[in-house]
Amino acid sequence: MSHGCTECTHIKRFRSDLIAEGAILGEDAEVAGIVNEPVLSDIDDPVASQLETPQQQDSPPDGFPRGYICLAVMDGKNIPHQKCALHICERPLVNYRNGRFCEVHLDLAEKCGIVSCGRPVREVGALTCDNQTYIEWYKQYRNRFTRLSFPGVQRVIRRQQERGDANSSGPILRVELNPLGDLPGNEVVHTFKAGSTYCLQTIQWACGHPIGWARSEVFFIQVLSIINRIWADHPEAKPGFIAYDDACSLLRHIVTQDSRDPWLQSTKFVVDAWHYIGHLATDALCRLWCNPQPTNGSKPDLVRVEVDINGTAHQTRAFNTETAEHNYDLFIHALMMLYAERVEKRVQEKNLGLTDEFWAEALGHDEGSEIQ
């Protein structure tokens, strides 16, 4: 958390700075540096109404230093892979061919796959105990999801619920599993199949310097838990801004869960410039709180003024909010290089390298001859 440079950390700016630099202030929804769509009329938004309109000091306070602002960028890349079947565990599998558990939870293979049960399986290789209700429920699950990813289906359902599937015009996925007692079928917690991780979330400063990463799905409760863990021991180092492709939904989740969450006091969540283009102009919360470079002077830290060759002042972006996209290929390349070094070290330590004798036998050379 000690990193700092002029690409991710700027002196605090105020609205008066923009005016002094010749900026012509625009409307709430306008974004510096892009062609802006017409703004439609507001719609009622109970979550946005819990947040006051963003306030910005017009000028630096007398007798106090300006301070500084940091911006971090967060993004998720779709890299699905299997993990432990226990829903609260993120560890890798011991056996990726047909296993279900990580090393820590291997003993669960001997217990009923209905997590709330906890009884031993009825026989070696079985996935449930001798409770006939559980046996029948598992048979239905197996017939329904043998060729499908059940966690993937659950993910789609939860997304539909977040969007409000009752009003959706697209196809709706409905699970046809019978309830287990009073519990709906899609809410039964089980270990019948290895779990899966949807994506890799990375967080870096606007300059590209890594902060942290974690495996997750795209549900905002997991995204929030990631940033909570990263800054748990350094709350004073929280950035003034976090740019995220769906920052408005993350902000909505935070406000809904706890309107007094410390993140609402320390950090402003903004949508990165590229993805903001596709966000609705009727979303009051997104337009007022998550605009990445508003031209109305409400977030002067995110905007700087440049003068073109004709002497006209233009507002442009002060930070690079796309650094996560730019750095992803570099991260993967660096990881592969580090892993290659690790493999080479293991080869040397275990004396597994290809010797002259190997090449002599393989290519038919004499052992004393030089290998080209």
Q: What is the pLDDT of residue 232?
A: 93
- Beta strands, E only, 169-290: 195-205, 210-216, 241-244, 268-270
Q: What is the mean pLDDT of residues 211-235?
A: 83
Report helix, strand or coil for 252: helix
Q: How many residues does the chain have?
A: 372
pLDDT at 227 over 90: yes
Q: At 313, which amino acid appears?
A: A
Q: Where are the domains of the chain?
A: 9-76+198-321, 95-193, 325-363
Residues 342-359 pLDDT 10s: 888 988 999 988 888 888
Closest by Cα among 22, 29, 55 to 315: 22
% pLDDT > 90, the chain? 28
Summarised one tens digit per residue, pLDDT across range 120-142 is: 999 999 999 999 999 999 998 88
Rg (CA), the chain: 27
Q: What is the pLDDT of residues 54-103, one digit of tens each?
A: 666 677 778 888 889 999 999 887 777 788 999 888 888 999 888 999 99
List the end-to-end C-alpha distance of the chain, in Å, as a whole number: 50
Q: Is 272 exposed, middle or buried (0-12, 13-18, 19+ CB in 10 A)?
A: buried
Tokens 């010797």 belong to 355
* Cβ–Cβ under 8 Å, residues 334 and 208: no
pLDDT value of position 23? 79
What is the overall mean pLDDT for the chain? 81
pLDDT over 80 at 118, yes or no: yes
What 3-state DSSP class applies to 48? helix
When pLDDT is averaged across residues 198-209 and rounded to a whole number, the result is 85
What pLDDT is stored for residue 169 in this prediction? Answer: 44
Interval 152-199: pLDDT, tens:
555 655 555 555 544 444 445 555 678 888 888 878 999 998 987 777
Predicted pLDDT of residue 10: 92
**Alpha carbon separation from 171 to 166, 168, 187 (Å, rounded):** 11, 8, 21
Does 106 score more than 90 pLDDT?
A: yes
> Is the four-CA dihedral 201, 202, 203, 205 of positive or negative sign?
negative
Give 199 or 203, the one with higher predicted confidence.
203
Q: Looking at residue 366, what is its pLDDT?
A: 63
Identity of the amino acid at 271: V
Q: Which amino acid is at 251?
A: L
Cα dihedral: 147, 150, 151, 154 (round 10) = 130
**Closest to 70 (Cα-Cα) out of 301, 315, 323:** 301
Could you tell me the pTM of the whole model? 0.67
> Token pair of 12, please?
């605090």
Q: Beta partners for 196?
A: 82
Q: How far, in Å, are 136, 141, 345 from residue 185 at the CA level?
A: 12, 9, 50
Q: Which residues pair with 221 in a beta bridge?
A: none
Q: What is the pLDDT of residue 235?
A: 92
Q: For residue 370, is pLDDT > 70? A: no
The pLDDT confidence band at residue 251, using thresholds 50, 70 and 90, is very high
